[in-house]
Amino acid sequence: MAKMVIYAAPAHLYRYRPLGTKIEQEVDALVGQYIHCSGFSSMNDPMEGAHRISQRLRDKQSNGKQSSKIKEEMEAVGIASMSEVYDHEPMWAHYAARFTGMCVEYNTRRFLRGLPEDVALTRIMYSEQAPTLLDDGRLEADRVRGCLSTKSVRWASEREWRLFLTAPGHARYGGGNVVTRIYLGSRVSRKDEQRLTSVGEQLDIPVSKMTIESYSLSFDPAKPRVK
Protein backbone atom coordinates (compact mmCIF):
# COMPACT_ATOMS: atom_id res chain seq x y z
CA MET A 1 0.00 0.00 0.00
CA ALA A 2 1.26 3.50 -0.82
CA LYS A 3 2.16 5.83 2.05
CA MET A 4 1.01 9.43 2.37
CA VAL A 5 3.91 11.79 3.05
CA ILE A 6 4.03 15.58 3.49
CA TYR A 7 7.09 16.68 1.52
CA ALA A 8 6.60 20.43 1.87
CA ALA A 9 6.10 22.22 5.17
CA PRO A 10 6.15 25.94 6.02
CA ALA A 11 9.51 27.35 7.07
CA HIS A 12 7.86 28.86 10.16
CA LEU A 13 4.84 28.12 12.31
CA TYR A 14 3.10 30.66 14.52
CA ARG A 15 1.23 30.56 17.80
CA TYR A 16 -1.17 33.33 18.84
CA ARG A 17 -1.35 33.97 22.58
CA PRO A 18 -3.12 36.35 24.98
CA LEU A 19 -1.09 38.39 27.46
CA GLY A 20 -2.39 40.58 30.31
CA THR A 21 -3.07 38.34 33.31
CA LYS A 22 -1.57 35.37 31.42
CA ILE A 23 1.72 37.01 30.47
CA GLU A 24 3.87 35.24 33.05
CA GLN A 25 2.77 31.78 31.97
CA GLU A 26 3.61 32.76 28.38
CA VAL A 27 6.98 34.08 29.49
CA ASP A 28 7.59 30.83 31.35
CA ALA A 29 6.86 28.88 28.16
CA LEU A 30 9.35 30.99 26.18
CA VAL A 31 12.08 30.73 28.80
CA GLY A 32 11.36 27.06 29.51
CA GLN A 33 11.26 26.23 25.78
CA TYR A 34 7.93 24.46 25.67
CA ILE A 35 4.41 24.72 24.28
CA HIS A 36 1.54 23.85 26.59
CA CYS A 37 -0.90 21.32 25.15
CA SER A 38 -4.35 21.73 26.68
CA GLY A 39 -7.09 19.17 27.14
CA PHE A 40 -9.91 18.67 24.64
CA SER A 41 -12.56 20.23 26.91
CA SER A 42 -10.76 23.61 26.84
CA MET A 43 -11.06 24.02 23.07
CA ASN A 44 -13.20 26.92 21.87
CA ASP A 45 -14.89 25.38 18.82
CA PRO A 46 -17.98 23.33 19.82
CA MET A 47 -17.59 21.32 16.60
CA GLU A 48 -14.11 20.09 17.55
CA GLY A 49 -13.86 16.33 17.34
CA ALA A 50 -17.16 15.96 15.48
CA HIS A 51 -17.34 12.66 13.65
CA ARG A 52 -19.61 9.98 12.25
CA ILE A 53 -19.35 6.24 12.87
CA SER A 54 -19.78 3.83 9.98
CA GLN A 55 -22.58 1.32 10.28
CA ARG A 56 -20.14 -1.58 10.23
CA LEU A 57 -18.16 -0.16 13.14
CA ARG A 58 -21.37 0.74 14.95
CA ASP A 59 -22.60 -2.86 14.61
CA LYS A 60 -19.29 -4.20 15.85
CA GLN A 61 -19.23 -1.96 18.90
CA SER A 62 -22.84 -1.93 20.08
CA ASN A 63 -24.46 -0.13 23.01
CA GLY A 64 -22.52 3.08 22.39
CA LYS A 65 -19.18 1.58 23.45
CA GLN A 66 -17.39 3.02 20.43
CA SER A 67 -18.59 6.56 21.09
CA SER A 68 -17.63 6.22 24.73
CA LYS A 69 -14.09 5.09 23.86
CA ILE A 70 -13.64 7.94 21.41
CA LYS A 71 -14.79 10.46 23.99
CA GLU A 72 -12.42 9.06 26.61
CA GLU A 73 -9.48 9.23 24.19
CA MET A 74 -10.34 12.81 23.25
CA GLU A 75 -10.33 13.85 26.87
CA ALA A 76 -6.95 12.18 27.38
CA VAL A 77 -4.99 13.82 24.55
CA GLY A 78 -3.03 17.10 24.79
CA ILE A 79 -3.52 19.61 21.94
CA ALA A 80 -1.90 22.88 20.83
CA SER A 81 -2.78 24.89 17.73
CA MET A 82 -0.38 26.70 15.42
CA SER A 83 -0.73 28.47 12.08
CA GLU A 84 1.20 29.09 8.87
CA VAL A 85 0.50 32.85 9.08
CA TYR A 86 1.27 35.62 11.56
CA ASP A 87 -0.72 38.48 10.02
CA HIS A 88 -4.24 37.03 10.08
CA GLU A 89 -6.53 39.68 11.53
CA PRO A 90 -9.32 37.36 12.81
CA MET A 91 -6.77 35.24 14.71
CA TRP A 92 -5.26 38.37 16.27
CA ALA A 93 -8.78 39.26 17.38
CA HIS A 94 -9.82 35.81 18.67
CA TYR A 95 -6.63 34.17 19.95
CA ALA A 96 -4.49 37.18 20.86
CA ALA A 97 -7.17 38.92 22.93
CA ARG A 98 -8.32 41.58 20.47
CA PHE A 99 -4.83 42.56 19.31
CA THR A 100 -3.50 42.96 22.89
CA GLY A 101 -1.52 39.69 22.80
CA MET A 102 1.35 38.24 20.82
CA CYS A 103 2.21 35.78 18.08
CA VAL A 104 5.33 33.63 18.50
CA GLU A 105 7.29 32.50 15.44
CA TYR A 106 8.94 29.05 15.45
CA ASN A 107 11.47 27.67 13.00
CA THR A 108 9.66 24.52 11.86
CA ARG A 109 12.70 22.37 11.18
CA ARG A 110 14.40 23.15 14.50
CA PHE A 111 11.08 22.83 16.31
CA LEU A 112 10.49 19.32 15.01
CA ARG A 113 14.06 18.30 15.70
CA GLY A 114 13.72 19.33 19.35
CA LEU A 115 10.39 17.63 20.08
CA PRO A 116 10.34 14.13 21.62
CA GLU A 117 9.26 11.16 19.50
CA ASP A 118 5.86 10.77 21.17
CA VAL A 119 4.76 14.22 19.96
CA ALA A 120 3.00 14.51 16.59
CA LEU A 121 2.58 17.57 14.40
CA THR A 122 -0.07 17.46 11.68
CA ARG A 123 -1.67 19.80 9.19
CA ILE A 124 -5.42 20.32 9.65
CA MET A 125 -7.66 19.12 6.83
CA TYR A 126 -10.72 21.24 6.11
CA SER A 127 -13.88 19.55 4.91
CA GLU A 128 -17.58 20.14 4.32
CA GLN A 129 -18.40 17.02 6.34
CA ALA A 130 -17.18 15.53 9.61
CA PRO A 131 -14.90 12.48 9.22
CA THR A 132 -16.35 8.97 9.29
CA LEU A 133 -14.75 6.38 11.56
CA LEU A 134 -14.34 3.05 9.80
CA ASP A 135 -13.84 -0.52 10.91
CA ASP A 136 -10.26 -0.46 9.63
CA GLY A 137 -8.35 -1.84 12.60
CA ARG A 138 -6.89 1.49 13.67
CA LEU A 139 -6.21 2.19 17.33
CA GLU A 140 -8.66 4.47 19.14
CA ALA A 141 -5.89 7.03 19.70
CA ASP A 142 -5.29 7.21 15.94
CA ARG A 143 -9.01 7.59 15.25
CA VAL A 144 -9.17 10.43 17.75
CA ARG A 145 -6.24 12.24 16.15
CA GLY A 146 -7.98 11.82 12.82
CA CYS A 147 -11.12 13.46 14.18
CA LEU A 148 -9.13 16.28 15.78
CA SER A 149 -7.17 16.85 12.56
CA THR A 150 -10.32 17.69 10.60
CA LYS A 151 -12.32 20.92 10.84
CA SER A 152 -15.13 22.60 8.97
CA VAL A 153 -14.01 24.27 5.75
CA ARG A 154 -15.19 27.57 7.23
CA TRP A 155 -12.04 27.62 9.36
CA ALA A 156 -9.72 27.09 6.37
CA SER A 157 -8.29 30.61 6.37
CA GLU A 158 -6.51 29.86 9.67
CA ARG A 159 -4.20 27.39 7.89
CA GLU A 160 -3.81 25.49 11.13
CA TRP A 161 -1.32 22.86 12.20
CA ARG A 162 -1.92 20.90 15.37
CA LEU A 163 0.45 19.50 17.97
CA PHE A 164 -0.60 16.28 19.73
CA LEU A 165 0.76 15.11 23.07
CA THR A 166 -0.19 11.80 24.68
CA ALA A 167 -1.70 13.75 27.61
CA PRO A 168 -2.26 17.41 28.47
CA GLY A 169 1.00 19.03 29.50
CA HIS A 170 4.16 20.63 28.14
CA ALA A 171 5.67 19.68 24.78
CA ARG A 172 9.32 20.62 25.30
CA TYR A 173 11.31 21.43 22.18
CA GLY A 174 14.61 22.35 23.88
CA GLY A 175 17.61 23.71 22.08
CA GLY A 176 18.24 27.27 20.95
CA ASN A 177 17.06 29.31 17.99
CA VAL A 178 13.66 27.58 17.78
CA VAL A 179 11.72 30.78 18.53
CA THR A 180 12.85 33.28 15.92
CA ARG A 181 10.59 36.29 16.53
CA ILE A 182 7.86 37.62 18.82
CA TYR A 183 5.14 39.76 17.27
CA LEU A 184 3.12 42.06 19.53
CA GLY A 185 -0.40 43.26 18.76
CA SER A 186 -1.17 46.92 18.06
CA ARG A 187 -3.11 47.21 21.34
CA VAL A 188 -0.54 45.56 23.60
CA SER A 189 -0.18 47.37 26.91
CA ARG A 190 2.98 49.34 27.56
CA LYS A 191 3.72 47.10 30.55
CA ASP A 192 3.41 43.90 28.49
CA GLU A 193 5.45 45.40 25.65
CA GLN A 194 8.29 46.22 28.03
CA ARG A 195 8.11 42.76 29.64
CA LEU A 196 8.29 40.93 26.31
CA THR A 197 11.01 43.24 25.01
CA SER A 198 13.04 42.40 28.11
CA VAL A 199 12.47 38.67 27.57
CA GLY A 200 13.44 39.06 23.92
CA GLU A 201 16.72 40.69 24.94
CA GLN A 202 17.35 37.91 27.46
CA LEU A 203 16.71 35.15 24.92
CA ASP A 204 18.14 37.00 21.90
CA ILE A 205 14.77 36.95 20.12
CA PRO A 206 13.70 39.98 18.03
CA VAL A 207 10.45 41.58 19.17
CA SER A 208 8.27 43.50 16.70
CA LYS A 209 5.12 45.50 17.29
CA MET A 210 2.18 45.77 14.91
CA THR A 211 1.13 49.02 13.32
CA ILE A 212 -2.08 49.37 11.33
CA GLU A 213 -2.66 51.61 8.35
CA SER A 214 -6.07 51.31 6.71
CA TYR A 215 -6.51 47.55 6.04
CA SER A 216 -2.78 46.76 6.17
CA LEU A 217 -0.66 45.34 9.01
CA SER A 218 3.07 45.88 9.42
CA PHE A 219 5.56 45.17 12.20
CA ASP A 220 8.41 47.35 13.48
CA PRO A 221 10.93 46.77 16.29
CA ALA A 222 9.27 47.12 19.68
CA LYS A 223 10.32 49.94 21.97
CA PRO A 224 13.20 49.00 24.28
CA ARG A 225 12.46 48.48 27.91
CA VAL A 226 12.99 51.28 30.39
CA LYS A 227 16.25 50.74 32.28
pLDDT per residue, tens digit, the chain (227 aa), is: 887 778 889 999 999 999 999 999 999 999 999 999 998 877 767 777 677 676 676 666 655 565 677 778 888 899 999 999 999 999 999 999 999 999 999 999 999 999 999 899 999 999 998 877 776 766 777 888 888 899 999 999 999 999 999 999 999 998 779 999 999 999 999 999 999 999 999 999 999 999 999 889 999 988 665 54
The answer to the question of residue 145 being in a domain is yes
* Domain presence at residue 3: no
Question: What gap in Å lies between CA 59 and CA 40, rounded to an integer?
Answer: 27
- Asked, for residue 53, whether it belongs to a domain, the answer is yes
Distance between CA atoms of 21 and 25, rounded to whole angstroms? 9
User: Is the Cα torsion angle 163, 166, 170, 171 positive or negative in sign?
Assistant: negative
In terms of residue numbers, what domain contains 161?
Answer: 14-221
pLDDT of residue 43: 75
Q: What's the pLDDT at 74?
A: 82
- Is residue 226 a part of any domain in this protein? no
**Position 140 in a domain:** yes
Contact 145, 164 (CB under 8 A): yes
| Structural domain contains residue 149 | yes
In a domain, 101, yes or no: yes
Q: How many domains does the chain have?
A: 1
Beta strand spans in 19-178 (E): 34-39, 52-53, 78-83, 102-107, 120-123, 125-127, 132-133, 150-152, 160-165, 169-172
Stated pTM of the model: 0.88
Flag whether 4 is in a domain: no
